[in-house]
């Protein structure tokens, strides 16, 4: 045994399902960006001998969405190998905090120093006057917290304290957000790839957001001043990952279109793809005005962007204004989506249900409007959720308004507050029926027809993605962003406070669930696959058109239901016209002078 070894164990925890079992898969979707970032920073600390030349630093990474975590087994292995250790539960969101708490207590019981970081800790430290009771209780048991970001060699300090067995109760870097340029490559060991759905990874090129959306935590955790990596950083990230077979990436920036260096970044990717023939593809997130940036969409698709997530959030201007999302202009939605479609990108959008002006009838009407009038491929629905770290959460807390005390439900897939107009059941019904409506067989056929009509439409890809979204909600009861292949459940991993089920009760039900779900997968997929074959075989597939993909004059757009039937739609058009008139007059004055 060598006492000069230090083990740094990084674990990205999952969260519990409604029955109290960790949500885990044989193959999960996309690896954790936080885990990749921290692993890259830890590798850099190891390479520079952050604990001195005589201490060997060993790194261990676990993504609990696809790998079972055994605290006792990990502790035994550390004792067998010798040395000291620190457990880091990383990237912990509010819905993952209960699971992180259970894991932390098990590691502490094994005598291992444990710390928790991520959006829940950082958001609470940033926005609340006092630390929440569940955090205070865990801190009192010896668990440390890390608030903020670990760049700028901040791990060195944590490593030294852990080596001295003297972790501080709180490492608070929220007032000192670091630069990202020149920081180590976010990267995971290649062993993680075999547990994901493909050769995918994720990284960020920028953090922070200048907008003020009241439901958002990013602005209060990552700040309102944007910070970016350089084109050289991006190339190094791609090359390091490409060497180990990773060629599909999710760039997790909340809004890539607001990255002032977007063009040099895209140019570097274009060079890698077109000159060095790198087979790389990307998913990015943008706002609804990205098409107004000259050449942005053109260069994005040349750079390999084939899927784009758009923060649509709502089509009611009054709702957007109430949430302080003033940057979204419903008058721009159609043009923006049509431009992405013209360049062959698959479009996703997020849609929030539960703004103050919503009713069940209005929500379902708006979903129908989106289906009919916007050329959108995939739509993800979320409950309006007062996430710890957001302005919404702080306001409700200060007013003593009820919020569900179970943090495990704060996954945007559960209702955790009451609505001013809808009853609890109406809100829940609106959410479920919105999913059912958008992913009905009829609308899947419509999306496939739109795709088949375009030479870059990729209807097969649309079919796969739409069925993924439909089946995760319908069969697994989880949001598609948490989905994966083949759900795993382990009898003894149940949430603390819930009884461990007997083997005679647990295993027959689990087996039945697996059989029933896969029957639903097969039957639903076969039914929709027949629709796909019909669409592909249609002799007039290339001539298909509908109001969503058809270009219409601006004057005619004002007659759309999206304008006429939404709260504030007509006024939004009028405001757009006024703004355009002001800009035009200003240009005339400039020319005249």
For the stretch 216-241, pLDDT in tens is 898 899 888 888 999 999 999 999 99
Instruction: Give the per-residue pLDDT at 189.
Output: 81
What are the two backbone dihedrals, phi and then psi, of residue 61, each rounded to the nearest 5 degrees?
-125, 140
Q: What mean pLDDT comes out for the span 360-382? A: 94
Q: What is the pLDDT of residue 113?
A: 97
Of 138-152, 296-310, 539-553, 563-577, the one with minimum mean pLDDT is: 563-577
Percent of the chain with pLDDT over 90: 75
Place of tokens 């896969």: 518
- H or E stretch covering 525: helix 503-537
Q: Say what the pLDDT of residue 167 is.
A: 97
Looking at 244-329, list the stretches that DSSP marks H as alpha helix, in order from N- to C-terminal side.
262-274, 296-302, 317-322
Structure confidence at residue 1 as a pLDDT band (50, 70, 90): very low
Q: At which residue do the structure tokens 């899947």 appear?
A: 444
Per-residue pLDDT band at 556 (split at 50, 70, 90) = low
Phi, psi of 302 (to 5 degrees): -65, -35
| pLDDT mean over 497-504 | 97
Of 116-130, 267-281, 309-323, minimum mean pLDDT range: 309-323
pLDDT at 586: 62
Mean pLDDT throughout 482-508?
96
| Residue 555: predicted pLDDT | 62
Q: 3 or 293: which carries more pLDDT confidence?
A: 293
Q: 339-343 contacts: CB < 8 A, separation 24 or more? A: 339/291, 339/297, 340/291, 340/297, 340/308, 341/375, 341/450, 341/454, 341/457, 341/549, 342/454, 343/297, 343/298, 343/300, 343/301, 343/456
- Dihedral of alpha carbons 69, 73, 79, 82, sign: negative
> Taking Cα atoms as reference points, which of 272, 181, 209, 207 lies closest to residue 235?
272
Question: What are the pLDDT digits (tens) for 398-455?
Answer: 999 999 999 999 999 999 999 999 999 999 999 999 999 999 999 999 999 999 999 9
As beta bridge partners, residue 351 has: 313, 381
The phi and psi torsions of 268 (rounded to 5 degrees) equal -65, -40
Cα 520 vs. chain centroid, distance in angstroms? Answer: 27
Least confident of 318-327, 395-404, 453-462: 318-327
Coil/strand/helix, residue 111 = coil
pLDDT at 224: 83
Cα–Cα dist 348/233, whole Å: 27
For residue 170, is pLDDT > 60?
Answer: yes
Is residue 73 within 8 Å of 110, Cβ to Cβ?
no
Q: Judging by beta carbons within 10 Å of its beta carbon (0-12, 13-18, 19+), is residue 398 exposed, middle or buried?
A: exposed
Question: Which of 373, 408, 425 lies closest to 497, judged by CA?
Answer: 408
251 near 220, Cβ under 8 Å? no
pLDDT of 593 reads 65
pLDDT of residue 380: 94
User: What is the pLDDT at residue 43?
Assistant: 96
Distance between CA atoms of residues 331 and 315, nearest Å? 9
The predicted structure's pLDDT at residue 345: 95
- Between 557 and 134, the more confident residue is 134
How does pLDDT run across 27-39, given as a tens digit for each residue?
Answer: 888 788 899 999 9
Report residue 58's pLDDT band, with 50, 70 and 90 as the boundaries: very high
On the question of pLDDT at 324 being above 60, the answer is no
Distance of alpha carbon 593 from alpha carbon 585, whole angstroms: 12
Q: Classify the phi-psi angles of 493: left when phi > 0, otherwise alpha if psi is within -120 to 50, otherwise beta.
A: alpha
What sign does the CA torsion over 11, 216, 200, 517 have?
Answer: positive
* C-alpha distances out from residue 489 to 8, 25, 511, Å: 27, 8, 10
Tell me how long the chain is: 593
Indicate whether 472 pLDDT > 80.
Answer: yes
Greatest mean pLDDT among 46-55, 95-104, 306-315: 95-104
DSSP 405: S
- Bridge partners of residue 25, in order along the sequence: 487
| Residue 333's pLDDT band (cuts 50, 70, 90) | confident
Alpha-carbon Rg for the chain in angstroms: 25
Query: What's the CA angle centered on 477, arms 474 and 483, to 5 degrees?
Result: 95
Distance CA 395, CA 215 (A): 11
Q: Is the pLDDT of residue 116 over 90?
A: yes
Q: How confident is the model at residue 123 (pLDDT cuts 50, 70, 90)?
A: very high
Tens-digit pLDDT profile for residues 171-204? 999 999 999 999 999 988 877 777 777 678 889 9
Mean pLDDT taken over the chain: 90
Q: Per-residue confidence at 308, pLDDT binned at 50, 70, 90? A: very high
Whether residue 319 is predicted with pLDDT greater than 90 in this model: the reply is no
**Across 239-260, average pLDDT:** 90
pLDDT band at 494 (very low <50, low <70, confident <90, very high): very high
**List of residues 6+ apart from 559 with CB closer than 8 A:** none
Taking only the tens place, the pLDDT of each residue in 99-111 is 999 999 999 999 9
Residue closest to 508 by CA, chosen among 499, 516, 519, 498:
516
Under the banding of pLDDT at 50, 70 and 90, the label for residue 362 is very high
Distances (CA, A) of 300 to 210, 307, 320, 365: 22, 10, 27, 33
* Alpha-carbon span 36 to 10, nearest angstrom: 10
Nearest Cα to Cα of residue 140 among 119, 169, 167:
169
Q: Which of 8, 115, 84, 6 is nearest to 51 (CA)?
A: 6
Percent of the chain with pLDDT over 70: 91
Between 131-140, 150-159, 332-341, the lowest mean confidence (pLDDT) is in 332-341
Q: How many CB atoms lie within 10 A of CB 180?
A: 21
What is the pLDDT, as a whole number, of residue 552? 76
């Amino acid at each position: 045994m060598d006492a000069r070894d230090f083990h740094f164990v990084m674990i990205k925890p999952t969260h519990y399902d409604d029955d109290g079992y960790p949500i885990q898969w044989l193959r999960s979707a996309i690896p954790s960006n936080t885990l990749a970032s921290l692993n890259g920073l830890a590798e850099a600390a190891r390479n520079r001998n952050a604990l001195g030349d005589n201490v060997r630093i060993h790194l261990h990474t676990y993504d609990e969405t696809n790998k079972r975590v055994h605290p006792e087994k990990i502790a035994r292995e550390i004792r067998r190998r010798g040395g000291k250790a620190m457990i880091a539960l990383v990237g912990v969101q509010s819905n993952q905090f209960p699971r992180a708490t259970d894991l932390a207590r098990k590691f502490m019981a094994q005598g291992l120093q444990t710390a928790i970081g991520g959006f829940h800790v950082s958001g609470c430290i940033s926005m609340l006057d006092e630390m929440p009771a569940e955090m205070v209780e865990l801190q009192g048991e010896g668990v440390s917290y890390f608030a903020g970001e670990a760049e700028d060699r901040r791990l060195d300090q944590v490593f030294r304290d852990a080596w001295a067995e003297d972790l501080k109760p709180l490492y608070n870097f929220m007032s000192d957000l670091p630069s990202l340029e020149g920081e180590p490559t976010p990267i995971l060991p290649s062993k993680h790839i075999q547990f994901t759905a493909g050769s995918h990874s994720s990284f960020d090129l920028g953090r922070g957001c200048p907008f003020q959306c009241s439901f958002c935590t990013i602005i209060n955790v990552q700040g309102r001043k944007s910070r970016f990596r350089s084109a050289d950083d991006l190339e190094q990230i791609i090359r390091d990952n490409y060497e180990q077979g990773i060629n599909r990436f999710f760039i997790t920036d909340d809004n890539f279109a607001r990255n002032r260096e977007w063009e040099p970044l895209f140019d570097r990717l274009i060079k890698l793809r077109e000159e060095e023939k790198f087979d790389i593809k990307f998913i990015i997130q943008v706002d609804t005005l990205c098409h107004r940036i000259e050449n942005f969409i053109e260069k994005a698709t040349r750079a390999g962007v084939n899927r784009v997530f758009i923060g649509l959030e709502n089509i009611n201007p009054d709702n957007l204004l109430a949430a302080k999302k003033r940057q979204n202009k419903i008058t721009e939605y159609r043009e923006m989506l049509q431009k992405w479609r013209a360049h062959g990108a698959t479009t996703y959008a997020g849609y929030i249900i539960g703004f103050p002006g919503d009713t069940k009838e209005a929500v379902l009407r708006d979903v129908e409007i989106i289906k009919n009038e916007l050329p959108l491929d995939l739509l993800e629905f979320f409950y309006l959720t007062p996430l710890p770290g957001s302005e919404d959460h702080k306001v409700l807390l200060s007013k003593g308004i009820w919020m569900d005390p179970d943090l495990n439900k704060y996954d945007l897939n559960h209702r955790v507050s009451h609505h001013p107009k809808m009853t609890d059941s109406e809100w829940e019904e609106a959410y479920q029926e919105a999913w059912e409506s958008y992913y009905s067989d009829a609308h899947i056929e419509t999306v496939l027809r739109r795709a088949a009509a375009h030479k870059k439409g990729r209807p097969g890809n649309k079919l796969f993605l739409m069925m993924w979204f439909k089946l995760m909600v319908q069969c697994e009861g989880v949001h598609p962003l948490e989905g994966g292949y083949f759900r795993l459940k382990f009898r003894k991993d149940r949430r603390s406070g819930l009884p461990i089920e007997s083997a005679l009760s647990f295993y027959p039900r689990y087996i039945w669930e697996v059989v029933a779900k896969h029957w639903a997968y097969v039957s639903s997929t076969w039914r929709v696959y027949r629709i796909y074959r019909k669409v592909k075989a249609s002799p007039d597939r290339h001539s298909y058109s509908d109001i969503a993909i058809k270009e219409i004059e601006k004057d005619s757009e004002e007659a759309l239901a999206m304008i006429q039937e939404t709260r504030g739609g007509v006024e939004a058009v009028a405001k757009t016209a006024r703004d355009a008139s002001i800009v035009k007059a200003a240009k005339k004055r400039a020319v005249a002078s």
